[in-house]
Structures are given as structure tokens and as C-alpha cells.
Amino acid sequence: MDLINTPHKRKNILTGDWVLVSPNRTRRPWQGTKDKSEEINRISFDPSCYLCPGNKRAGGEKNPNYDGVYVFKNDFSALLENPYQSHKDGLFEAESESGVCKVICYSPNHGLTLPLMELDAIKEVIRLWQKEYTLLGNNQDINHVQIFENKGAVMGCSNPHPHGQIWAQRSIPQEVEKKTIKQKNHWNQNGSSLLGDYLKQEVQSGDRIILENETFVALVPYWAVWPFETMIIPKNHRVSIAELSAQEVRDYAEILKNLTIRYDNLFETSFPYSAGIHQSPTNGEVNKFWHMHMSFYPPLLRSAEVKKFMVGYEMFANPQRDITAEKAAERLKKCSDTHYSKN
């Protein structure tokens, strides 16, 4: 089967969903919208920023003069700690949702994104992720801890100060439920990690591998939906970020920095994305079949000004992509590991 030139569909083994791949469409002319590219923010402190050290936040609280990674409860949380309630009226059904939302400022520096941070500083971010996952997950009312980052105005980021978020909630989201089912079925049938077995095949092929160190791999998934979608996977079977050793934390930080540098270098812009970690639910069960991973969903398509839209066919049928996962990996792999702003 010709996977390079012929339209075909690929299966996401973690969810069971399919994506239509149409490599023949990469030749189509573009006369659509061109957005303004994201420039590197070179301001280290903004007195009007709600997240900078010492400044007053929108909710009225004042930030301490923090000098490293800083976490606080979101002043405008999407989830609140409410008792469970349900409502059913014929075909109208609703359930209350409760939880905790937090904001993580990666650095006191207003312009320091992950690719520009020092390795030790990124390690501190990962350690805080570990701490918060464990702390929130130990709450009996929390069954899922979602760590994520929206980077760039095009991704709806409401503040340019580099930061991530954590939403911890009572219910387990649908995407995580789908991955739980697929991984559990594979474990019961084969006695091994689904993502671990997939990673072995990817490493053997090498077609979609971007970066690799002793304990982590960064690749473009075979079933990638977004043009330059990537996934970071630990080589060892780790159900959650809490299980990572000191060496793995260092390797994770290294590959996280190098991958985001390549993103910025691809179009020489501060590359926008949504990134998130999927890992074992904190529902009190032994989810030994889970294999943690981090995904990046960036919207840019042909340049810093042209982005991918999920519209039309993709809203009513299936996701679709033009550039193949192999071609995307090839382009990212060729990017320098020195940030373009340093040249």
C-alpha cells in the first residue's frame, strides 16, 4: 500500500479513532487566512502582567516575589469543590462536576518559554508536576489530574507569561476513558504495555522518531492529526509522572527542551501549541496497564502565518491531514538543536 502519495486512513491505537491522510493535497495553493506570527517575547518583567512576581492578579491576590517555578489556585477556576448532584428530566441529563484548577508559572521571567529555559529550571517544572499529581491525586474526590499548557495567542492563551495549568476533577474525561479501555485490553491479551509495544516498533522503524535519549523518545505518532503533532514517551513502563526516577526527570527535561527548540526553529517563530500529559487516573485502582505520555498539538501548517483548521469534513466526519507523519518527522528532525534566536 502506498502511504506516501495515496489517500488513506490511519488508526489511533490508543483511542480507536481514525484520521484521513491526503498527501496529494500538499500541492494545493493557499489563498486563505494568514495570521500574524508569534514573536519571541524579550521582556523579562511586565508591571501589568497578572503572573509576574510581586504583581496583583486579576482576582485581587498579590503574587509573592517568587524566584523559580510557582503554583497557585486559579482565580477563575473552571471547576469548584462542590458536592455531587445529578439531574434527569426525560432526555435531559446532567451531573455536577467538581475539582481543583491550578496555574503553574514556569519562571519569574516574563519572556522565558520552555525552549529558552535552562535544563535545571525545566527539571523543577517536572518535579512540580510530580508533586501536584501526587498531592491532588491523593484526594479521594479527585479521579483525574490533567496537566497541560496552551502556548500562544492563537491557542487561546489569555496571558503571555509562560505558564501551564492543572485541572483535577472527580470524573474521568472521555479521551482518558478511551485510552484506558484500549490499554487495559492490550494488557489483558498480551501481558504488556500497549504504548511500550508500539514504541518498540517505532524505534525499529525509525521513520517517525525525532529525538531519543537514554530513557525517552520524541516522535510523530503514526496516527497524528495535527500537522506537526508529536508525542514524548518514556522507554520504561511508567504509569504516571510520579514514577519517574531522577535520571528520567533529567532526560524528560532534556527532550522537552530540545523538542520545543525544534518547534520554534521550524518556522523561526515562538511556536504555538496545546500540550498535555496523559497518565493513570487517580481513582484508587491499580492501573498497571497505563503508560504515561505527553502530546503536543500545534496548529501551524505551512508557515508561521498559516494554521490548520478543524472544520467542514473534520467536524462532521473524521479528522484529516495533508502532510504525512513521516514527512513531518523528517522536517522536525532536520531542525537545529540551537534556538534560532541564539544565531
Q: Give residue 54's identity as a one-letter amino acid code.
A: G
Q: Give residue 290's identity as a one-letter amino acid code.
A: W
CA distance 16 to 14: 6
**Is residue 163 annotated as a catalytic residue, yes or no?**
yes
Strands 163-169 and 144-151 turn out to be antiparallel
CA distance 184 to 167: 24
Q: Which of 144, 161, 163, 339 is catalytic?
A: 163
Contact 96/130 with Cβ under 8 angstroms? Answer: no
CA distance 4 to 324: 7
Q: C-alpha cell of 150?
A: 496552551
Strands 320-321 and 18-21 turn out to be parallel
Residue numbers annotated as active site:
163
